[in-house]
């Protein structure tokens, strides 16, 4: 049997290592809710492809969580590299970190505007945020810091369902979900060379997730504990049933969507437990399920 030359073997190994290094990663920057849980920052996810980071949502703590992921070896999440974010909807727990995302990476030498994609209203929100910090901008650009004049700026794009972004790494498709009284709330699908990833955002159970995933590699989906919900006051039961997805309902959705991996985030437990939630899901869905935590990587 002929053996390949050593140089060819070395080249093949290098290429294999490079391909592994470039594999698309899903990084949970924040898995929390409006509850002030110190172990769970506000909702934020990063899809990292070929050294570029694409964020979904900007919950509180987003930049520091990204810096923590950088410290763990994901260089794409260094603050100056945070250049693009897709907002699911305008609830405060998904957007209060937007100010942080606009200004902190700029202070740390991001030199290009932040690109923001989201529902109607995102443009007005970003204009008001930049206006609110006009004195900070003046001091930093005109004073001794000599900050660059581009990195704090925002390019806001108000989207419609369909393809909303594409570059050499990724195609991003937005789809409408059902989130209580919000007129526009979106989920996003990311398609890269090696993976398909769907992020639900906040939503009650909806066929839109099934249609968007349809055998996707990773589905990142919000969830609440049915056990805990049953012990809530009636008014809160009505609210959560309209705005969010119970574990049994998510199990049924996942059974139809058939993701390769179901990652739970934005978990509302109340008096329920992680085991309750996963058990309720597994009654309908036999695939892989993980209960996500901040800084998990998939």
- Identify the residue whose tokens are 């490079």: 18
What number of CA atoms fall less than 13 Å from residue 81's CA on the CB side?
19
* pLDDT tops 50 at residue 4: no
Q: What is the pLDDT of residues 186-199, one digit of tens each?
A: 999 999 999 999 99
Q: What is the mean pLDDT of the chain?
A: 93
d(CA 109, CA 103): 10
d(CA 131, CA 109): 20
Q: What is the pLDDT of residues 144-175, one digit of tens each?
A: 999 999 999 999 999 999 999 999 999 999 99
Q: What is the pLDDT of residues 230-262, one digit of tens each?
A: 999 999 999 999 999 999 999 999 999 999 999
Residue-level pLDDT at 12 = 38
Instruction: Categorise residue 61: left if φ over 0, alpha if ψ from -120 to 50, beta otherwise.
Output: left
Residues of the chain with pLDDT > 90, as a percent, come to 92
Which CATH architecture is the domain 25-291 placed in? 4-Layer Sandwich (3.60)
d(CA 134, CA 26): 34
Lowest mean pLDDT among 4-8, 98-102, 119-123, 153-157: 4-8
What is the pairing mode between strands 261-268 and 288-291?
parallel
Residue-level pLDDT at 19 = 42
Q: What is the pLDDT of residues 11-64, one digit of tens each?
A: 333 334 444 445 899 999 999 999 999 999 999 999 999 999 999 999 999 999
* Tokens linked to 196: 């398909």
Residue-level pLDDT at 22 = 58
* Contact (CB, 8 A) for 291 and 267: yes
Dihedrals φ, ψ of 37, to 5°?
Answer: -85, 115
Domain ranges of the chain: 25-291
What is the pairing mode between strands 186-191 and 171-176?
antiparallel
**Residues 119, 123, 126, 127, Cα dihedral to 10°:** -160
Average pLDDT over residues 200-206: 98
* Tokens linked to 30: 């924040």
What is the layout of strands, in order, in the sheet containing 171-176? 162-166, 171-176, 186-191, 196-199, 218-224, 261-268, 288-291
Average pLDDT over residues 210-225: 98
């Amino acid at each position: 049997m002929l053996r390949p030359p050593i140089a060819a073997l070395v080249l093949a190994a290098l290429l294999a290592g490079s391909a592994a290094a470039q594999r698309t990663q899903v990084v949970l920057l924040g898995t929390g809710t409006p509850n002030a849980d110190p172990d769970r920052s506000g909702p934020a996810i990063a899809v990292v492809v070929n050294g570029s980071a694409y964020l979904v949502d900007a919950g509180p703590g987003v930049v520091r969580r990204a810096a923590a992921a950088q410290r763990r070896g994901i260089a794409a999440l260094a603050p100056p590299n945070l250049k693009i974010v897709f907002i699911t909807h305008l609830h405060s727990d998904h957007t209060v970190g937007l100010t942080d995302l606009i200004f902190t990476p700029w202070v740390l030498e991001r030199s290009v505007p932040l690109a923001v994609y989201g529902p109607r209203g995102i443009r007005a929100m970003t204009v008001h945020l930049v206006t609110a910090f006009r004195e900070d901008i003046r001091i930093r650009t005109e004073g001794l810091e000599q900050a660059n004049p581009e990195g704090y700026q925002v390019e806001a794009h108000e989207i419609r369902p369909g393809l909303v972004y594409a570059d050499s790494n990724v195609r991003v498709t937005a789809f409408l979900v059902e989130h209580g009284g919000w007129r526009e709330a979106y989920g996003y699908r990311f398609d890269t060379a090696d993976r398909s990833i769907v992020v639900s955002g906040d939503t009650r159970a909806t066929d839109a997730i099934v249609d968007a995933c349809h055998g996707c590699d990773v589905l990142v989906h919000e969830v609440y504990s049915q056990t805990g919900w049953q012990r809530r006051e009636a008014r809160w039961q009505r609210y959560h049933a309209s705005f969010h997805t119970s574990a049994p309902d998510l199990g049924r959705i996942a059974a139809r969507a058939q993701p390769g991996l179901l990652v739970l985030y934005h978990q509302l437990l109340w008096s329920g437990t992680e085991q309750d939630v996963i058990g309720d899901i597994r009654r309908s869905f036999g695939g892989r399920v993980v209960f996500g935590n901040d800084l998990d990587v998939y």
